[in-house]
Every structure is written in C-alpha cells, then in structure tokens.
Amino acid sequence: MTLSTQFLTMLAMIGMGSLFGASLDTHNRFLKRSKRKSWIVFINDILFWVFQSLSIFYVLFSVNLGELRFYIFLALLCGFAAYQSLFKTMYLKLLEQTITVTINMYLFFVKAVMILLVKPLRVLVTTALSLVLLMGRGLFSLLKWILFVTLSLLKNLILKPVKMILLFFWKLLPKTVKKSVEKLYNKWAGFLNVVKNYVTKPIKWIKNFKK
C-alpha cells in the first residue's frame, strides 16, 4: 500500500467516523427508544449496525481494496471523536431545523390540498347531490300531479257516466230481479265476512302469543 493510498484511507476513515456519529444521532432521534417496544428497538439497532458496517467496508474497499490496518480503527475513532467534540451540537440543531421545516412543509402541503382540492370537490359534490334531490322531488311532485289529474279525468269522464248508466239500468230492472241481486249480494257479503274472521283469528292469536 503506497503512502498516498494510506493517506486517502486515513481521510476516508476519519470521514466515515464522523458520518457514523451523525448517523447514530439521527438514528436515535427518529427511533425514540423510550417510546418503542424493545423488540422494535433491537431490530432497528441490528439493521443500523449492519448498514454502517457495510458502508464503512464499501468505502474502505473503494480506497484500498478492503485491506484492514490497525490505524483504520484509530482513524474511525478519531473521526467519531471529532464529530462528538466539534460538530455534534451544530448537527443536532441543523437536524431539528430540518425536521421542523419538513413538518411545516408537509402541513402546508396538506392544508393547500384541503383548501384547493378537497373542499371545492366537497362543495361540488354537495351541490350536485342537492340539485339531484331537488330535481327528484320536483319530478315526483310533477308525476304526482299528473297522476292526480289523470285519475280525476278518468273519474269525471268515464266512471261517472258508467255509474249513471248502471243506475239507469238498475232502475229499469224489475223488483224481483233487484231483490234477487240484493240477496245474492248479502250472501256474498256474509260469506266474505266469515272468511275474514277465519283469516284474522289466527293472526290475532299469533300476535297475542308473541306479547
């Protein structure tokens, strides 16, 4: 390994040590260990350490083809210590500001979508439904009026003349025929009342049984 390669390796590992410190603070900031279950914290920690190890090895492999030396670990430790003493406070402030700005932008976007899209669509849908209901009521009232007028016309133009004609023929019938018709009508009325009683008694009995 040449001196230039060793120098680049030292610089790369110092940088990775500082990056590891920043990544660790970011990981702890978003993980919130006190509010998470232990198994979630365990899995996240395992994934974090695996990712950091792979990242450091990838950078090391890119610089010196993955050759390990004792000074590499010292360089990582120096980078981590430099971050802790020089950059940690500044980075945490920057991280909090970034999180705050991101949350505010997200809330602004949500409000903009609500104001520009959701509320107008809601108003349009409500207006359309109101118009449909209003038109439906109007059509129902119109059909009801047409049906009423039609039934009135049928009653006045057809039923009344037919009734008058039947009454006229009824008056022309002999009394004996009238009496026979009246007797037949009374018999049928009595028969229908008997049938009605037989039908309604079981229904009343079932209702009383349910009570």
- What pLDDT, on the 0 to 100 scale, is given for residue 21? 92
- What pLDDT, on the 0 to 100 scale, is given for residue 207? 61
Q: Higher confidence at residue 178 or residue 27?
A: 27
97-149 pLDDT tens trace = 999 999 999 999 999 999 999 999 999 999 999 999 999 999 999 999 998 88
| pLDDT bracket for residue 183 (50, 70, 90) | confident
47 pLDDT more than 90: yes
- What pLDDT, on the 0 to 100 scale, is given for residue 8? 84
- What pLDDT, on the 0 to 100 scale, is given for residue 208? 65
Task: Taking residues 23-45, report their average pLDDT.
Answer: 86
209 pLDDT more than 70: no
119-131 pLDDT tens trace = 999 999 999 999 9
Domain boundaries, the chain: 3-103, 174-211
| pLDDT bracket for residue 205 (50, 70, 90) | low
Q: What is the DSSP string of the chain?
A: --HHHHHHHHHHHHHHHHHHHHHHHHHHHHH-GGGS-HHHHHHHHHHHHHHHHHHHHHHHHHHHTT---HHHHHHHHHHHHHIIIIIHHHHHHHHHHHHHHHHHHHHHHHHHHIIIIIHHHHHHHHHHHHHHHHHHHHHHHHHHHHHHHHHHHHIIIIIHHHHHHHHHHHHHS-HHHHHHHHHHHHHHHHHHHHHHHHHHHHHHHHHHHH-
Whole-number percent of the chain with pLDDT over 90: 36
In the numeric block, which tokens belong to residue 114? 């609500």
* pTM strictly above 0.85: no
- What pLDDT, on the 0 to 100 scale, is given for residue 133? 92
CB atoms within 10 A of CB 81: 14
159-182 pLDDT tens trace = 777 777 777 776 776 777 667 777
